[in-house]
Amino acid sequence: MASADIAALIAAQPAGCSLAQPFYSDPRVFERDIERIFMRHWLCAGHVSALPRRGDYLLVEYGAESVIIVRGDDGALRALINVCRHRGSRVCSAPGNAGSFSCPYHGWTYGLDGKLLSARHMPADFDLGGHGLRQIGLRVVAGLILISFAERPLGLGHGEKTIASSFEPYGWSEARVAHRKAYAIDANWKLAVENYLECYHCAPAHPEYSRLHALEQPLPRIEALDARMRERASRIGLDIPAHEYWEPSSKGEEVVFGFRYPLYEGAVTGSRDGKPVAPLMGQLRDYDGGVTSVHFGPASFFISYGDHGLIYRFVPKTVDRSEIEVIWLVRGDAREGIDYDPDALTWLWDVTSVADKRIIEDNQRGVNSRFYTPGAYAPMEPNARRYIAWYLREIA
């Protein structure tokens, strides 16, 4: 699809509505999404606690791109493009721990810093120094590993401020990964993100979530609950300001949106019954009955309760396949089987994510119909409406 065709699609897109069918089903739009969204913006690759030792590494993939996140000999984290500088083979195929990386195709070997250490049987004057693994931008904020494929990454002033002020009170820098699970979604990545941006669907689709979280109602109906949450938060010294920056990337900064909302009375966390499932995080002295949520960049979401946190990573695979990875965090010194039960910890957001998989895939099936037309967003979907307007500007 030529740029002129995409421009025509954007021009024809009705304001305040879900996207026209080609945005969810045309491979050429998907290619534009990868180039303009995922290769320009900051993305969350996980949490630092997954890489505690020298040589620990994990892999993250977006479309055709694969990145090795590794802890080097100097203790620093680096993001290395998983493409051998010889003939382009993938160097790593699974996470693990290594003293160096050796390409399985022809044996070129790289250090943990990406430098080429040896290239078998190459001429004596071959320049090892000019053939290291390519490195991309990486920052760590409140324990979150953020990466950017861009040659000149967007600024993180708003993002760092929002993430740090939202999650340092919960001790995310010292937290650890308790569990992670990936959910394969047979749908375009935008349908998955749109679903996560609104709670209009929560009452009909997520009864387990809706028993606890007041966000399943329109905001004017939960003002009293919100006021009580804020009073309790003030009493225990939990001061987390809302922050929103949602401007086009042409202004040079990454987007972010942080806010808080209340649980229903009697619930203090996201669990089967609203009761604690792990020790209080960070320096918290008590629960305030609230949830802290941050939407960062195009496809990363973070949530914290008083006793555990969640990282949501939305990953495009193909035009009609994506993945949601959920990472559960607990206090760094919490012991599995003693301080928390993994099944109790993960139950709510696992059952919610399984339901999300079903409704997102049903959404894609409906969007594929010849009878589909863009529908108007409801008043409870302002974040989805704003996101789609931003998305259209970004790919224009």
Q: Could you report the average pLDDT of every consecutive run of 10 residues in the chain (396 residues)?
A: 83 96 97 97 98 98 96 98 98 97 98 98 95 98 98 98 98 98 98 98 98 95 96 95 96 98 98 98 96 98 98 98 98 98 98 98 98 97 97 96
* Same domain, yes or no: 120 and 238: no
Handedness of CA 380, 383, 387, 390 (dihedral sign): positive
Residue 368 lies in a domain: yes
Domain end call among 74, 107, 137:
137
Segment holding 145, helix H or strand E:
strand 144-148
Is the domain of 286 the same as that of 353?
A: yes
329 vs 336: CA distance, rounded Å: 12
Residue 342 within any structural domain of the chain: yes
Identify the CATH number of the domain in which residue 116 sits.
Answer: 2.102.10.10
Q: Is 256 helix (H, G, I), strand (E, B) or coil?
A: strand
Q: Say what angle helices 3-12 and 382-395 make with each other, to 10 degrees.
A: 150
Copy the structure tokens of residue 67: 């990145």
The answer on 240 and 116 residing in a single domain is no
- Residues 311 and 369 both lie in one domain: yes
Tell me whether strands 77-81 and 109-110 are parallel, antiparallel or unpaired: unpaired
- Strand 309-318 and strand 300-304: the pairing is antiparallel
Whether the CA torsion 23, 25, 29, 35 is positive or negative: it is positive
Provide the β-strand partners of residue 185. 322
> Does residue 272 fall inside a structural domain?
yes
Structural domain span for residue 114: 49-137
Residue 43: inside a domain: no
User: Is 163 within the bounds of a domain?
Assistant: yes
Backbone angles phi, psi at 183, to 5 degrees: -115, 110
d(CA 140, CA 137): 10
Q: What are the DSSP E strand ranges found in the chain?
A: 43-47, 56-62, 65-71, 77-81, 96-97, 101-102, 109-110, 116-118, 135-141, 144-148, 176-185, 243-245, 256-262, 290-296, 300-304, 309-318, 321-330
CATH number of the domain residue 320 falls in: 3.90.380.10
Same domain, 298 and 235: yes
The terminus-to-terminus CA distance of the chain in angstroms comes to 13
Same domain, 204 and 346: yes
Q: Confirm if 177 and 340 have CB atoms less than 8 A apart.
A: no
Beta bridge partners of 211: none
Task: Give the separation between CA 249 and CA 25, rounded to whole angstroms.
Answer: 25
Residue 146 inside a domain? The answer is no
User: Could you tell me if 121 and 188 lie in one domain?
Assistant: no
Residue 320, sorted as left (phi over 0), alpha (psi -120 to 50) or beta, turns out to be alpha
Asked if residue 40 is part of any domain, the answer here is no
Q: Is residue 38 part of a domain?
A: no
How many Cβ atoms are within 10 Å of 270's Cβ, its own excluded? 24
Look-up: residue for tokens 């689709």? Answer: 205
Cβ neighbours of residue 251 closer than 8 Å, sequence gap 6 or more: none
* The dihedral sign for the CA sequence 43, 198, 18, 387: negative
Please tell me the number of Cα atoms within 13 Å of 189 on its side-chain side.
26
**Which secondary structure element, helix H or strand E, spans residue 65, and what is its range?**
strand 65-71
Q: How many CB atoms lie within 10 A of CB 373?
A: 10
* Domain termination site, one of 77, 109, 137: 137
Q: Within this chain, do residues 198 and 247 fall inside the same structural domain, yes or no?
A: yes
My answer on whether 366 and 338 are in the same domain is: yes
Name the H helices within the chain: 3-12, 21-25, 27-33, 157-167, 189-196, 202-205, 207-210, 223-235, 342-367, 382-395
Strands 135-141 and 116-118: unpaired
Tell whether 119 and 185 lie within a shared domain: no
Number of domains in the chain: 2
**Of 79, 109, 137, which residue is a domain's last?**
137
176 in the same domain as 117: no
Q: In this predicted structure, what is the pLDDT of residue 2? A: 65
Contacts of 152 (CB under 8 A, 6+ apart): none
Shared-domain flag, residues 96 and 179: no
Distance CA(100)–CA(85), nearest Å, equals: 15
CA 248 vs CA 44, 133, 302: distances in Å: 19, 31, 21
Instruction: Please name the residue that has the structure tokens 């900051």.
Output: 42
